[in-house]
Amino acid sequence: MPLIVLPVLMLVMLAVIALIPVSLVQRYRVGTARRLARGWVTTINLIAIALSTGLFLLGAAITSAWVPEAFRYALTGFAGGCVLGLLGLSLSRWEVTPRGLHYTPNRWLVLAITLVVTARVMYGFWRGWQAWRYTMDGSSWLIASGVPGSLAAGAIVLGYYLMYWFGVRRRFVRHRSSGR
């Protein structure tokens, strides 16, 4: 029985790795689709992203005890992501229809955020491979300095989506209160 579990586990891990490109393409397709702004969806997304952001920044603060500059990089990435989120809100297409408020995120900005995620995933695989090859004594500066940059990339995505969903929620509430 244990001999069967190991190959099945390896097969599942390889399937997850093989499906990463498909998930990234789907992320882009869904991210650029025209959507109806719904109050409960915007609220859930805003709460989930805010919780994720808080936990992420807490993790970055704890990580900075072992990795210098980790928290600073995370905060810088978060601030950059917030600016991108505001830019995304201004570049989104907003439509008022009889059904409600519809929005379509900007394709180029969604592509840029997706490429940040893609680059981070590819870097993670590369870094894992390099860390596997080198021992602690012979590790390179690039491997050692990868954590703050990775935290910054993750913080960019979180900052973007936190600000974007905050703006979508705000627009939805304004639209609903105007009675259109």
Paired tokens of 154: 């993750």
User: 18-32, 53-67, 81-95, 123-137 — which is least confidently predicted?
Assistant: 123-137
Task: Measure the CA–CA gap between 164 and 166, rounded to whole angstroms.
Answer: 5
Task: Measure the CA–CA gap between 47 and 18, rounded to whole angstroms.
Answer: 31
Per-residue pLDDT band for 138 (boundaries 50, 70, 90) equals low
pLDDT given at position 9: 85
Residues with Cβ < 8 Å from 130, sequence gap 6 or more?
A: 140, 142, 143
Residue 26 CB-density burial (10 A; 0-12 exposed, 13-18 middle, 19+ buried): exposed
pLDDT given at position 142: 47
Per-residue pLDDT band for 65 (boundaries 50, 70, 90) equals confident
Percent of the chain with pLDDT over 90: 41
**How do residues 72-118 score in pLDDT, each as one tens digit?**
999 999 999 999 999 999 999 999 988 889 999 999 988 888 888 88
- Tell me what the mean pLDDT of segment 27-45 comes to: 88
**How do residues 10-20 score in pLDDT, each as one tens digit?**
888 888 888 88
159 pLDDT exceeds 50?
yes
pLDDT given at position 140: 52
**Which has the higher per-residue pLDDT, 105 or 68?**
105
Q: Would you tell me how many other CB atoms lie within 10 Å of the CB of residue 141?
A: 7
Provide the CA 156 distance to its chain's centre, in angstroms.
Answer: 7
Looking at the chain, which runs of residues are DSSP E strands?
35-36, 93-97, 100-104
Task: Measure the CA–CA gap between 102 and 93, rounded to whole angstroms.
Answer: 8
54 pLDDT exceeds 90?
yes
- Tell me what the mean pLDDT of segment 169-174 comes to: 92
3 pLDDT exceeds 80?
no
Per-residue pLDDT band for 134 (boundaries 50, 70, 90) equals low
Closest CA to 82 of 6, 14, 167, 175: 167
Domain residue extents for the chain: 32-178
Residues with Cβ < 8 Å from 75, sequence gap 6 or more?
A: 57, 60, 155
Q: Where are the alpha helices (DSSP H) in 93-145?
A: 107-133, 141-144
136 pLDDT exceeds 60?
no
Predicted TM-score (pTM) of this structure:
0.80
